[in-house]
Amino acid sequence: MGSRRTSRICALQTLYQLELNPLEVEQALRLYWDYFESSTDNPERLTEIMGFTNLLVKGVMKNLEQIDDEIQSSSKNWKLNRMAMVDRNILRLAVYELITLEDIPKRVSINEAIELGKKFGSEDSGSFINGVLDKISQSVKKE
């Protein structure tokens, strides 16, 4: 598995943790890395994973209101608080990538989010995430 995909998984798990147990972002990341570091034996890869994960988590949390507004306005029949927590946090990650990280093509961000949804969400998560992100991506100027 690539470092960026692993980073997205780590970011999703950290965002999920933050939603269940509100902490300072730095504290949540520190707790996560205390656990994750012990399961990784490649220091170079770990540094790469940590860097991208930290960028994603801090970026999502810093822009949470804007990201949530974007998700809410693109999912007319779903209130944000009614979405599954996993789906909501996958959408947050992908929307952050779409609106902020210009070096990542829109299609990559969307596909990675769909894969996360299939792996960690429900049977319908992939198609739900795809629908919301497709609508959001149409307004993003990128590529």
Cα–Cα–Cα angle for 116, 118, 120, rounded to 5 degrees? 60
What is the pLDDT, as a whole number, of residue 45?
A: 83
Instruction: Indicate the pTM of the whole model.
Output: 0.92
pLDDT tens figures, 51-87: 999 999 999 999 999 999 999 999 878 888 899 999 9
| Contact between residue 42 and residue 84 where contact means Cβ atoms under 8 Å apart | no
Tell whether 55 and 83 lie within a shared domain. no
Q: Taking residues 9-25, what's their average pLDDT?
A: 95
Higher-scoring residue by pLDDT: 140, 52: 52
What is the pLDDT, as a whole number, of residue 2?
A: 83
Which of these, 80, 50, 49, lies nearest to 67 by C-alpha position? Answer: 80
Q: Is the pLDDT of residue 123 over 60?
A: yes
Tell whether 56 and 71 lie within a shared domain. no
Tell whether 108 and 82 lie within a shared domain. yes
- Matching residue, tokens 């507004």: 69
Q: Is the pLDDT of residue 41 over 70?
A: no
Tell me which residue range forms the domain holding 75: 63-143
Amino acid letter, residue 5: R
Tell whether 113 and 45 lie within a shared domain. no
Q: Is the pLDDT of residue 34 over 80?
A: yes
Q: Which residues contact 60 (CB under 8 A, 6 or more apart)?
A: 11, 15, 67, 92, 93, 96
Tell whether 76 and 55 lie within a shared domain. no
Tell whether 51 and 116 lie within a shared domain. no
**Domain limit, last residue, from 35, 62, 89:** 62
Q: Which residues contact 7 (CB under 8 A, 6 or more apart)?
A: 48, 49, 51, 52, 53, 56
pLDDT tens figures, 83-107: 999 999 999 999 999 999 999 999 9
Number of structural domains (the chain) is: 2
Q: Can you tell me the distance from the alpha carbon of 82 to that of 3, in angstroms, rounded to the nearest whole number?
A: 31
Tell whether 134 and 81 lie within a shared domain. yes
